[in-house]
Amino acid sequence: MKLVRHGARGAERPGILDADGRVRDLSAHVSDISGTTLTTHGLQALRVLDPETLPLVHGIPQQDLRLGPCVAGVGKFIGVGLNYADHAAEAGMDVPTEPILFTKWTSCITGPDEDLHLPKGSTATDWEVELGIVIGDGGQDIAQNQAHRHIAGFCVINDISERDWQLRQGGTWDKGKGHDGFGPIGPWLVTLDEIPDPRALRLWLAVDGHRYQDGTTATMVFGPEEIVSYASRFTTLHPGDVIATGTPPGVGMGQKPPVYLRSGQVMELGIDGLGQQRQRVV
């Protein structure tokens, strides 16, 4: 299933894509794409529905039908740093021996195609296309061989980052990662059963048509199951929590000289099977 949230900002409604890629409304069955909707039991209740019998939503998604963040009510937005060996090399840092975890404040979450407003005083706002994990059944101290049972599905994330704030102004990553608009997620949440191998997905990002990132999740240091298990050692994961799993090489900071976002530019990014995003920088 491909689950979406459609409509005006702040008033999004739950939906599902049909076989033609059109949105069908789920409002009669669930209140939102969040929490208990994403548990094993909640997703099973949606699987028995025939999308063709649900109300058709007017418009083409991401054209004349706005899509919001594909998950609502996110409790935790966790990031994983330096999780691609080739990205660690471009950053001049050692490949980590265990996952590097940080948080993105949930107020940064936005839809997949919203304008990115450069923060006041920003000089080094950067891009990072990432595979996102959405938690289904929650848990703590999850065994790695059971972690797949706790994953509802996957989505595209742009882990937008202000590098000066992240690395040079006090050395804490969170303030460089959590500004408003720094967490586009979507366009849709693709359930686990539709992604047979999350370690074999191509992901890419372009700015004004120039492709900076073009990688594969095969070069991840830690895969989704390892990440979910590891994160659950330090915090209880809840339905609807989101984890950004790291980015391949090609970020602006890694260019020689570095290249950062400017007003008027357009970012486009995507992951095989998970859709695409587009953000205009203003």
Report the CATH number that the domain containing residue 237 is assigned in CATH. Answer: 3.90.850.10
Give the pLDDT confidence of 101-110 residue by residue, as tens digits. Answer: 999 999 999 9
Geometric angle at alpha carbon 120, from 93 and 254, rounded to 5°? 20
Is 39 part of any domain?
no
C-alpha to C-alpha distance for 276 and 2, rounded to whole angstroms: 13
Asked, for residue 105, whether it belongs to a domain, the answer is: yes
Within 8 A by CB and 6+ apart from 12, the residues are 5, 6, 32, 68, 69, 72
* 86 belongs to a structural domain: yes
Establish if 44 belongs to a structural domain: no
Is residue 147 in a domain?
yes
pLDDT for 53-102, tens place per residue?
Answer: 999 999 999 999 999 999 999 999 999 999 998 777 777 778 889 999 99
Cβ–Cβ under 8 Å, residues 211 and 205 = yes
For residue 164, tell me if it sits in a domain.
yes
| 170 pLDDT tier (thresholds 50, 70, 90) | confident
Q: Is residue 2 part of a domain?
A: no
Question: How many structural domains is the chain composed of?
Answer: 1
Domain for residue 21, yes or no?
no
Which residues span the domain enclosing 179?
72-280
